[in-house]
Amino acid sequence: MSKVAIIGAGFVGSTCAYALFIEGSANEIALIDINKEKAKGEALDLVHGNLFTPYTKVTYGDSYTLCKNADIVVVTAGAHQKPGDTRLDLTKTNAKILKSIIEGITKYNKNCIILMVTNPLDVLTYLGLKWSKFPTNRVFGTGTTLDTARFRQLLGEYYNVNPTSVHAYILGEHGDSEFPVWSSANIAGIKLKDFKKYDKRKLNQLFKETKNAAYEILNRKGSTYYAIGLVVRDIVRDILQNQHKIYPISCHVDNYYGVKNICLSIPCVLTKKGVKERIHLHLDKNEQKQLRKSASIIKRVIKSVS
């Protein structure tokens, strides 16, 4: 029997629950929110669809007791990013919220995997790891998985291929200092620069669109939640099924191209035990420089709230 607890029943949390529910990814989904009525409303709306999906038990409430026996706890609660804000602007408010959440989780469950979704993702993943005192394989964030998906979608449109056939990563901070790994980006094993359609200026523009995608959505509809819900569904499902799939998640790194004691996104193998392996992807000198820049920015923010 598998159980997933989701903390925060707002747009992101409820969409994660819905994505997991319609696929039947877990036997039980627990929705936890400070607003118990909101959690109840979301839970009722889900269970009314059980006739049309693989059966899933849905529980709800405002107590962290619902984290008991959860295999994975997904943290989505926090202040919302407003138009004009960067993800790092949210740090102090969401760090305070996270500390109480971690205390609640660890009081009732010391064996779960904690999957961070709340922004600023890398900073909060590091703090969640520190405050939980869990091993580094069991606390990580969605990282640049969504950024990578956006990037592959845009590259797929440009080269007129399905994005699943595009192999290219966005790494580093889930935020303004993220960077594309151009040196290994390819389609069917062919480097992007070897295609006739290669245009460096156009590709750089596609990366810029990738980096600004969240802000563009925020300015139009106020928040982003559909795609991140699918990201969480896939990560959770593949952990529960022990799939050994690779995701660019935000995890603790120690001596990755000289970057130490920080959480940022690199490719990792995920299993039922969490992070099994950190993939040492080849980065050229410029990409290594950008990785270190991302790390220094995240460290500076962590220091400001510690």
> Is 174 an active-site residue?
yes
Buried residues in 196-205 as b, exposed as e (16+ CB within 10 A): eeeeeeebee
Nearest CA to 198 out of 182, 209, 210 is that of: 182
CB 123 within 8 A of CB 298: yes
List the catalytic residue out of 48, 80, 167, 174: 174
In three-state form (DSSP H/G/I as H, E/B as E, the rest C), the secondary structure along 242-269 is: CCCEEEEEEEEEEEECCEEEEEEEEEEE
The total number of residues written for the chain in this structure? 306
User: What positions carry a catalytic annotation?
Assistant: 174
